[in-house]
Structure 1
Amino acid sequence: MIGITGIEAAAERIAGHVVRTPTVPSPGLSALLGVPVTAKLELLQRTGSFKARGAVAKLLTLTEAERAAGVVAVSGGNHGIAVAVMAAALDVKATVVMPRSALARSVGIAEEAGAVVRLTDGMDGAFALVDRLREEGLTLVHPFDDPVVIAGQGTVGLEFAEDAGELTDVLVSIGGGGLISGVAAALRARRPGVRVWGVETKGAESMSRALAAGGPTPVELSSIVTTLSAPAVSRLTYEMVSELVTEVLVVPDREAVAGSLEFAEHAKLWTEPAAGCLLPAARRVVERVGDGARIGLVVCGGNAQAGDMAAWTDRFGLR
């Protein structure tokens, strides 16, 4: 498993390439949840999400031959944006494979950064196409099944541990599990008493299904939250979450969108539903832990357009 030494090394490697995002107490969210809340604002990261950390951590380890051949990434949105933008900054040619369900904004940003974007009918098809492109010589920058990428994402937890006040419970969204694996490893080393909770959306429950099955298992994806929609977690992230995470909570899409609206109203933060799902999950954690809870939220990303949020708000009757 990835440990604190690897995360510290990643932090040194990526310094200067990413933002040390703010860690702030949120009076609005504290009032909403009834307990102190501190937010790690990864939506202010380069490319609009934490994904820039893992992407650049991996890109900086490429050999000259790998740089010349180029890289390929598979993504529901944010990882593709991050690889495209960070590869362009390092003068590395990138191909990004996304499902057609990915937000148009994500596709557009990747293309504007200079990446070749390939669209497939679903995530299963996206991973299959990536396998073929790897056979042609491209180096995979995997969104979560890579120790270097996980260590890069773990720098979020390293900063959170250093910058936050007292915390009892930290909530982290889960797609393939790279972010929560890295954050949990960092917090276990730096703040061993803190509980880490994972949050998924219904229809993208790859980690909770894996935990129930005793190992990674394919899931049928139906969530609107494409940035959390991994068709299966990896053995590495499954083992890390099994070891380090208290529990994985599952939130319906409607509640995830409602959470994004609450972030906007109470914290003045424009989040995508992949982060919005944290608030309904946090309410459940507070109910279990009680009034002594001091909640930390890793606000993972803000790459949703106003039109997308309006459509989801109408779809779920949240106006």
Structure 2
Amino acid sequence: MIGISEVEAVAERIAGHVVRTPTLPSPGLAALLGVPVTVKLELLQRTGSFKVRGATAKLLSLSAGERAAGVVAVSGGNHGIAVAVMAAALDVKATVVMPRSAPARAIEIAEAAGASVRLTDAMDEAFALMKRLQQEGLTLVHPFDDPVVVAGQGTVGLEFAADAGDVTDVLISIGGGGLISGVAAALRDRRPEVRIWGVETEGAQAMSEALAAGGPVPVALSSLVSTLSAPSVSQLTYDHVSALVHEVLVVPDREAVQGTLDLADHAKVWAEPAAGCLLPAARQVLQRVGEGARLGLVVCGGNATTADVTGWAERFGLR
């Protein structure tokens, strides 16, 4: 289990490379949901998502030999961008494996940063190729199955705990579980009274299925939210979520896209559905805990184009 000392150490290490993103009350979301809402705006982070925290922490921890070998990462979008950009900044050669369903913009950014991008037909094939490339000698920068990466993502929670006002419930999206594991570790130390809720989309339910099975299991992926689509969680992230998270909620893709539109209209931020899913989940939380709740939302990323969101909205008949 990641402890607060590991998160604090990583926070010092990456401080010159990442942004301390704003933690602010959102009057617009408070009016929409009917309770006070605080947002942690990781979509304003370098590379457009929280992923740069863990990627930077891992890259800075590598030995000279590991750096010289070059790194490999697998990603549905945001982790690949983060590894590509930060590897270039630190003069490390990077290979990024993504499924063809990854956002075109993510592929373009990774290539523009100088990474070698390898595309596969599906996410499980991407993870398999990543493992083969690691076996061939590349240094793995895993998106969630690495204590250093999880501690890096935990710096989101460290900042939130210091900067947020009084909150009762914090909602965090789950793909492979690195973000929620790190944030939960930090909040459990700094804000032990806060309930932590995970959020997944239907068709990307790796953590929900792991919790039901008593450990990580392979899952079938069908969600359009590629940035949450891990073929399984890891034992590391399962252990953290099973011990520290109150409940994991699941919302349909349609509601996640509507949440993206609502974040634009009411919070005035341009997020991706991996963050949009927090709004329908927030309504579920309020049904469970009542109107006395004070919500915190970790808006994890904003790497969706206007064309992406328009296309999804049209697919679901949303305005």
Q: Which residue of 1 aligns with 2:76?
A: 76
Distance (Å, rounded) in 1 between the aligned partners of 2:88 and 2:207: 32
Distance (Å, rounded) in 2 between the aligned partners of 1:290 and 1:219: 33
> How many Å apart are 1:44 and its aligned residue?
0.2
Q: Can you list the C-alpha shifts for 1:62-117, whole angstroms capped at 9, x where unaligned?
A: 11111111000000000000000011110100000000000100000000000000
Q: Which residue of 1 aligns with 2:181?
A: 181
The aligned amino acid for 1:120 is: T
Q: Which residue of 2 aligns with 1:172?
A: 172
The aligned amino acid for 2:14 is: I
SS for the counterpart of 1:221 is coil
Q: Does 1:252 align with 2:227?
A: no
Distance (Å, rounded) in 2 between the aligned partners of 1:176 and 1:136: 24
What is the aligned-residue RMSD (CA, Å)? 0.5
Q: Which residue of 2 aligns with 1:139?
A: 139
SS for the counterpart of 1:96 is strand
Q: Which residue of 1 aligns with 2:238?
A: 238
Distance (Å, rounded) in 1 between the aligned partners of 2:260 and 2:193: 29
TM-score, normalising length: structure 2: 1.00
The aligned amino acid for 2:215 is: G
Q: Which residue of 2 aligns with 1:3?
A: 3
Distance (Å, rounded) in 2 between the aligned partners of 1:181 and 1:136: 30
> How many Å apart are 1:170 and its aligned residue?
0.1
Q: Does 1:16 align with 2:16?
A: yes
Q: Does 1:124 align with 2:124?
A: yes
Structure 2 alignment gaps of length 5 or more: none
Structure 1 range deviating more: 148-157 or 59-68: 59-68
Q: How many residues are aligned here? A: 319
Distance (Å, rounded) in 2 between the aligned partners of 1:124 and 1:73: 13
TM-score, normalising length: structure 1: 1.00
Q: Which residue of 1 aligns with 2:105?
A: 105
SS for the counterpart of 1:60 is helix
Q: Which residue of 1 aligns with 2:194?
A: 194
The aligned amino acid for 1:277 is: C
Distance (Å, rounded) in 1 between the aligned partners of 2:128 and 2:26: 42
Structure 1 range deviating more: 70-79 or 280-289: 280-289
> How many Å apart are 1:136 and its aligned residue?
1.7
Distance (Å, rounded) in 2 between the aligned partners of 1:107 and 1:234: 25
SS for the counterpart of 2:167 is coil
Distance (Å, rounded) in 2 between the aligned partners of 1:52 and 1:251: 26
Q: Which residue of 1 aligns with 2:62?
A: 62
Distance (Å, rounded) in 2 between the aligned partners of 1:172 and 1:145: 18
The aligned amino acid for 2:217 is: T
> How many Å apart are 1:54 and its aligned residue?
0.1
Q: Which residue of 1 aligns with 2:279?
A: 279
Distance (Å, rounded) in 2 between the aligned partners of 1:155 and 1:18: 10
> How many Å apart are 1:132 and its aligned residue?
1.3
Q: Which residue of 1 aligns with 2:311?
A: 311
Q: Can you list the C-alpha shifts for 1:248-294, whole angstroms capped at 9, x where unaligned?
A: 00000000000000000000000000000000000111121112100
Distance (Å, rounded) in 2 between the aligned partners of 1:310 and 1:36: 29
The aligned amino acid for 1:301 is: G
Q: Which residue of 2 aligns with 1:52?
A: 52
Distance (Å, rounded) in 1 between the aligned partners of 2:209 and 2:189: 27
Q: Percent identity?
A: 79
Structure 1 alignment gaps of length 5 or more: none
The aligned amino acid for 2:302 is: G
Distance (Å, rounded) in 1 between the aligned partners of 2:287 and 2:25: 20
Q: Which residue of 2 aligns with 1:158?
A: 158
SS for the counterpart of 1:165 is coil
Distance (Å, rounded) in 2 between the aligned partners of 1:235 and 1:61: 22
Where do 1:25-44 residues align within 5 Å?
25-44=25-44
Distance (Å, rounded) in 1 between the aligned partners of 2:102 and 2:241: 26
Q: Can you list the C-alpha shifts for 1:114-157, whole angstroms capped at 9, x where unaligned?
A: 00000001111111111111122110000000000000000000
